[in-house]
Copies of this chain bind each other. A is one copy, B any other.
């Protein structure tokens, strides 16, 4: 596929004339819109977007990536308007702050003729985006449970710390529970720790006070896992083969896995670098002979001591 704004506009008008592309701006303009770094994962996402911009612009001198981060949904909606009216983008890569308030603004960008790539969070209305790039929440739960089953035996006990009550959290939890079923591993309790370090610490303290025999913890998230590890250390319950499984791919977690951390021996990938993957495929829509459209659902790769360094970006904030 090889499209430019001019071609698209002409195409909509029914008069396809490649020679008219001489009237178009020389550069292929791709807007990239995402939230400001309000938390660690988003900070990593911002960093990876900037890395991808440098890499792709060096590779393709005729591609101009225009990065804009926004502090809230209405600011992001305004940014999208500007990307169309001021920058006249040929394509948009967008990680929506929230689904509902960004659906109409993204639809308006689509109406301008731009190719639309949505990342991580879907819009409220199906069919707007040309390409959807996202992590795999059910697989994150399933891969975590498979690791638990490989390490634990019939009769062993685990506790689960969940995220913010959302579809994402439900998908992860339901897939974990479905995979663990029939293994004989007991889930003593599960509570929401809201993908937050402090909540992770408090929930884990509660679990430790109520359950004298815990063999492992599914923390689901690297921030929660930091709180869990602190609670385990404070209570002196890090021995007897105890281990914690987080998720996301925080750089400190990955480095410590590479170094052989026994308390947190693995992690499950849900990487902020997915914004870079989305930028790659969007640029490919203008440069490749292969089609670019559909759903690219990234794998929830198990990070172990063996492969950890492949996922380690020491300069990233996350």
Contact = CB atoms under 8 A, between A and B. Distances in A.
Interface of A: 1-3, 7, 11-12, 14, 16, 18, 48, 51-52, 55, 59, 130-131, 136, 258, 269, 271, 273-281, 284, 287-299, 301, 305-307, 309-311, 313
Given A14-B305, A258-B16, A310-B1, A271 B291 contact: yes
A296 B296 contact: yes
Given A48-B290, A291-B269, A310 B277 contact: no
Contacts of A273: 289-291
A290 B52 contact: yes
8 contacts: A11-B306, A18-B309, A52-B288, A59-B59, A279-B290, A280-B288, A294-B297, A295-B295
Contacts of A276: 288-290
Nearest to A3: B310
Contact of A299 (B2, B130, B290): B130
Contacts of A310: 1-3, 7, 11
A281 to B, nearest CB: 8
B1 A289 contact: no
A55 to B, nearest CB: 7
Copies in the complex: 2
Given A59-B59, A296-B296, A299-B130, A277 B306 contact: no
A221 to B, nearest CB: 17
A153 to B, nearest CB: 23
Q: Is the interface of A mostly helix, strand, loop or mixed?
A: mixed
Contacts of A305: 14
A294 B296 contact: yes
A55 B309 CA distance: 30
Contacts of A292: 277
B301 A7 contact: no
Contact of A293 (B12, B51, B295, B301): B301
Given A1-B310, A3-B310, A12-B306, A291 B296 contact: no
Contacts of A294: 136, 296-299
A190 B59 CA distance: 50
A46 to B, nearest CB: 13
Nearest to A295: B297
A290 B280 contact: yes
Contacts of A51: 289
Contacts of A12: 306
A138 to B, nearest CB: 12
A48 to B, nearest CB: 6
A14 B306 contact: yes
Contact of A289 (B52, B269, B291, B293): B52
A293 B273 CA distance: 12
